[in-house]
Amino acid sequence: MTDRLALITGASRGLGAALAEALAPTHHIVAVARTTGALEELDDRIKARGGSATLAPMDITLPEAMATLCRGIYDRWGKLDLWVHSAIHAAPLSPAHHVAPKDWSKSVEINATATSVLIPYVAPLLGQTGTAVFFDDPRAGEKFFGAYGATKAAQLALVRSWQAETARTGPQVRLLTPPAMPTALRARFFPGEDRDALTPVADAAFRLLPQILAD
């Protein structure tokens, strides 16, 4: 098993799952998501490529669970080389004055609060030499994207602050922009678009890989 370790939060499907597979030849994958069945399918695909994974069916919105996860990583491996955070909640599109309280709360919880909890837990594991990767999606201010756009913008503001704060000391914090992909998240936002015109998720993952692994 490789001695390089990658934590993927939001690993059960979409870009997170594709990046877990793409990184498997060079990293042992710690795959975090709520859906056990999807994680098991990911594990099968990783093993088929000759890689290895540790499955962590956990809810990232539970601080106690994330503390347990990070403590377990420290106790077993002592460090992380890479953290890829792809977990996101796509609230239904809605005019701002019709955003349901439950959709707003869930968006805040997953997109913003969970990130604010994870960063201080994961940062000590990354140390000065590790890398944290997040993904841009500038929807803030677009019509009907109020809940998603606002909470994604909050996440990105926090990430950019961390990026500036660690520019000299590490860890490296990278904010990447994936191409448009036929993911479940995008399907909720653009249900009628031609998905054949979008970049396959596996292709997007391999395009992003050099940026993720760059020294």
User: What pLDDT, in 10s, does the model give residues 127-186?
Assistant: 999 999 999 998 888 899 999 999 999 999 999 999 999 999 999 999 999 999 999 889
**124 touches 79 (CB < 8 A):** no
User: What pLDDT, in 10s, does the model give residues 97-108?
Assistant: 999 999 999 999
Helices (H) and strands (E) in the chain, counts: 8, 6
Structure-block tokens of residue 127: 């140390």
Q: How much is the pTM? A: 0.95
User: Phi/psi zone of residue 50: left (φ > 0), alpha (ψ -120 to 50 degrees), beta?
Assistant: left
Confidence band for 197, pLDDT divided at 50, 70 and 90: very high
What are the residue boundaries of the structural domains of the chain, listed by start? 5-208
Confidence band for 215, pLDDT divided at 50, 70 and 90: confident
* Res. 1: pLDDT tops 60: no
Q: What is the pLDDT of residue 49?
A: 87
Q: What is the pLDDT of residue 35?
A: 93
* Res. 90: pLDDT tops 60: yes
Q: Is 171 helix (H, G, I), strand (E, B) or coil?
A: coil
Distances (CA, A) of 144 to 65, 74, 137: 33, 42, 15
How many angstroms separate the CA atoms of 164 and 11, rounded?
27
Helix axes 14-23, 201-213, angle to 10 degrees: 60
User: Element (H or E) spanning 53, and its range?
Assistant: strand 53-57
* Res. 92: pLDDT tops 70: yes
How many angstroms separate the CA atoms of 68 and 72, rounded?
6
Chain mean pLDDT for the chain: 96
User: Element (H or E) spanning 6, and its range?
Assistant: strand 5-9
Q: How many CB atoms lie within 10 A of CB 36?
A: 11
The CATH architecture annotation of domain 5-208 reads 3-Layer(aba) Sandwich (3.40)
Confidence band for 3, pLDDT divided at 50, 70 and 90: confident
User: What pLDDT, in 10s, does the model give residues 44-70?
Assistant: 999 998 999 999 999 999 999 999 999
How many angstroms separate the CA atoms of 143 and 59, rounded?
30
Q: What is the pLDDT of residue 141?
A: 84
**154 touches 111 (CB < 8 A):** yes
**Contacts by residues 194-197 (CB-CB < 8 Å, ≥ 24 positions apart):** none
* Res. 211: pLDDT tops 60: yes
